[in-house]
């Protein structure tokens, strides 16, 4: 009888995260920060000496969500910061590829995000209620990243991501200047944002 394939990943913290049934007890914020800081947005197709990491993207989305939703409290902002946290394990797949993979990939990502929310005392149901606001901030971030770093023209970015809500295109660019950071600095930025919210 063949042995079942290994379905866990060892983290630098020493935790072993079961990928098929992730436990909140095996999730550490330092592992998330370390992993997200080493995952490139846009498959690495961005300007600069370093990749624009998912860690930086998460901080950007949290900043934008707070800017657009003045009533966002710390729990809502933490949900925004952690919105792409599963990518510390699964990486950042561009949206067209996620669509091609279909629901099973999204279900896997959702299970991991659910465990992350439990680990950091976020009510998964409350986080789901914030999903639309976080998605709006995510689209603004994508627009900014696309136009500042990924070579998209403004009309092209508006077609795919919409015009930034609550900020005109020039205002958004002026308010949020993006600069890709080395991985160690991106991880530190993510952890600093996390510590302010817990």
Distance between CA atoms of 166 and 160, rounded to whole angstroms?
A: 17
Mean pLDDT by runs of 10 across the 198 residues of the chain is: 76 92 96 98 95 98 92 94 94 71 72 94 82 92 94 94 68 72 98 97
Any long-range contacts for 11-17 (C-beta under 8 Å, 24+ apart)?
Answer: 17/89
pLDDT given at position 128: 74
Give the bridge partners for 8, in sequence order: 18
pLDDT given at position 6: 73
Domain boundaries, the chain: 27-197
The CATH homologous superfamily of the domain defined by 27-197: Hypothetical protein af1432 (1.10.3210.10)
pLDDT given at position 84: 96
pLDDT given at position 177: 86
pLDDT given at position 174: 53
């Amino acid at each position: 009888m063949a042995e079942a394939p290994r379905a866990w990943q060892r983290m630098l913290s020493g935790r072993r995260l079961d990928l098929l049934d992730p436990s909140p007890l095996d999730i550490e914020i330092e592992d998330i920060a370390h992993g997200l800081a080493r995952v490139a947005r846009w498959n690495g197709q961005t300007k600069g000496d370093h990749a624009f990491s998912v860690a930086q993207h998460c901080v950007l989305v949290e900043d934008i969500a707070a800017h657009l939703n003045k009533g966002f409290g710390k729990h809502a902002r933490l949900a925004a910061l952690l919105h792409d946290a599963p990518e510390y394990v699964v990486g950042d797949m561009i949206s067209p590829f996620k669509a091609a993979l279909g629901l099973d990939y999204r279900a896997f990502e959702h299970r991991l995000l659910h465990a992350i929310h439990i680990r950091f005392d976020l009510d998964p149901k409350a986080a789901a209620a914030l999903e639309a606001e976080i998605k709006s901030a995510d689209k603004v971030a994508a627009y900014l990243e696309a136009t500042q770093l990924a070579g998209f023209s403004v009309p092209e970015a508006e077609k795919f991501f919409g015009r930034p809500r609550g900020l005109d295109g020039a205002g958004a660019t002026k308010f949020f200047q993006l600069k890709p950071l080395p991985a160690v600095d991106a991880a530190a930025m993510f952890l600093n944002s996390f510590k302010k919210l817990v």
